[in-house]
Amino acid sequence: MGRAAARESLFKLIYEYTVREERDDFTLSLFGSGMNADDYGYMSSCYDGILGRAEELRGIVAAHSRGFAPDRIYKTDMAILMVAIYEILYRDDVPDAVSADEATALAKKYSSDKSYSFVNGILASVIKEKNNG
């Protein structure tokens, strides 16, 4: 399956979480059924980590999205950003550029025409802050 596909499944899980505001182990197991152990481990640990830091991640998005109230950001974009920011800040096994590139690709695939540049801009700001702080 590969890490990119695992990341896409993770994005879908987090999107579902942003809509329902609850964890869904059933969907997690469905997505995991076709994955190898490494990809499932990545997806599962990121899912736990993102849910455990959901408010923090939303706060980071809010802090970097000047002019956009967090409740006005598309849930799709919020889910993409939560996944990427979690990887950037808490996963040493994923290069920052890969997180940003994959997030931009997800935004192009699943969100509006302007979303990919919004997502890219937020992530560039988060990466810059991480590297300068």
Rounded Cα distance between 123 and 120, Å, is 5
pLDDT, one tens digit per residue, over 70-101 is 778 899 999 999 999 999 999 999 899 999 99
Tokens 């690709």 — which residue? 105
Band of residue 1 on the pLDDT scale cut at 50, 70, 90: low
Q: Where are the domains of the chain?
A: 3-132
pTM of the model: 0.93
Residue 47: count of CB within 10 angstroms of its CB? 24
**Sequence letter at residue 12:** K
Fold entry, domain 3-132: N-utilizing Substance Protein B Homolog; Chain A (1.10.940)
